[in-house]
Amino acid sequence: MALLLRDREATPEAAAPPPGGAASIVSPAFACETCGTAMARGQDWCLECGTAAPGRLGARPGWRAAFTVVGLTLLLVCCAVVASYAALTSDAERDAAAPSGGTGEPIIAQTPGVTPPATGTLVQPAAPTGPGTTAPPVVPPGPVVPVTPPPAAKNTPIAPITPAPAPATSGTTKPSPSTNASPGSPGSSGTSTDEPAAPALISLKADAASTYDPAKRRGAEFGPAKNAVDGKSGTVWDVVVPADNRPLGVGLVVNLGAPHKLSSLTIDTPTSGFRLEIYGAVDAKQLPADVLDKRWIHLTDRKAVQDGATIPLAGKGKDAKVQLVLLHFTQPAEPTDPRVAIGGIELHGTP
- CA 74 vs. chain centroid, Å, equals 66
Write the single-letter amino acid at 211.
T
Q: What's the whole-number mean pLDDT along residues 56-70?
A: 70
What tens digit of pLDDT does each residue of 125-179 get? Answer: 555 555 565 666 666 666 666 667 666 666 666 666 666 665 554 444 444 444 4
Q: Give the pLDDT mean for 332-341.
A: 92
Residue 15 reports pLDDT greater than 50? no
| Whole-number pLDDT of residue 189 | 45
Confidence of residue 45 (pLDDT cuts 50, 70, 90): confident
Percent above pLDDT 90 for the chain:
39
Q: Which domains does the chain have, with CATH numbers?
A: 201-350 (2.60.120.260)
Taking the CA atoms of 71, 72, 77 and 82 in sequence, report the sign of the dihedral they define.
Answer: positive
- Residue 260's pLDDT is 94
Helix (H, G, I), strand (E, B) or coil at 43: coil
Q: What is the mean pLDDT of the chain?
A: 77
Rounded to whole angstroms, how far apart are CA atoms 158 and 161?
9
**Residue 212: enclosing H or E segment and its boundaries?**
strand 209-212
Measured distance CA(211)–CA(68) in Å, rounded: 126
Q: Confidence band (pLDDT; 50, 70, 90) for 107? A: low
pLDDT at site 215 = 87
For a pLDDT cut of 70, what percent of the chain falls above it?
61
Pairing verdict, β 344-350 and 310-312: unpaired
Say if CB 345 and CB 276 are below 8 A apart: no
Nearest residue to 236 (alpha-carbon basis) of 246, 249, 225, 252: 225
Decide if 79 contacts 87 (C-beta within 8 A): no
* 3-state class (DSSP) for residue 210: strand
pLDDT at 350: 94
Per mean pLDDT, which range of 65-69, 123-127, 220-224, 301-305 is the poorest? 123-127
Name, in order, each residue with C-beta under 8 angstroms of 327's C-beta and a sequence gap of 6 or more: 251, 252, 253, 254, 267, 276, 278, 342, 345
pLDDT band (50, 70, 90) for residue 181: very low
Q: Are 342 and 250 in contact (CB under 8 A)?
A: no
Q: How far apart are CA 209 and CA 224, in angstroms?
A: 9
DSSP alpha helix (H) spans, the chain: 2-9, 63-97
Phi, psi angle pair for 64, to nearest 5° = -60, -40
Closest CA to 345 of 265, 252, 246: 265
Q: Which of 23-32, 35-44, 234-243, 267-276 has the lowest mean pLDDT?
A: 23-32
